[in-house]
Amino acid sequence: MKPYQANLINAGVLLVFGLWAYLIMAAESRSMTVLIPVFFGIAFVLLTPLLKKENKIVAHVVAGLTLLLVVALLMPLIGSIGRADMDAVFRVGIMMAASLFALVVYIRSFIAVRRARQEAA
pLDDT, tens digit, 9 for 90 and up, residues 79-97? 999 999 999 999 999 999 9
Q: How far is CA 2 from the centre of its chain?
A: 15
Reported as half-sphere exposure (CB side, CA atoms, 13 A), residue 29 has a value of 4
Q: What is the pLDDT of residue 50?
A: 96
* Global confidence as pTM: 0.91
Reported as half-sphere exposure (CB side, CA atoms, 13 A), residue 117 has a value of 6
Q: How far is CA 88 from the centre of its chain?
A: 17
Kindly give the confidence (pLDDT) of every residue in the chain, 121 residues in length, as a single tens digit, with 9 standing for 90 and above.
Answer: 999 999 999 999 999 999 999 988 877 777 888 999 999 999 999 999 999 999 999 999 999 999 999 999 999 999 999 999 999 999 999 999 999 999 999 999 999 999 999 998 7
Q: What is the pLDDT of residue 100?
A: 98
- Dist. CA 2–CA 33, nearest whole Å: 30
What separation in angstroms does the CA of 70 have from each of 28, 40, 52?
28, 11, 22
Reported as half-sphere exposure (CB side, CA atoms, 13 A), residue 68 has a value of 11
Q: What 3-state class would DSSP assign to 78?
A: helix
Q: What is the pLDDT of residue 24?
A: 87
- Dist. CA 8–CA 44, nearest whole Å: 7
- Pair 30, 21: CB distance under 8 Å: no
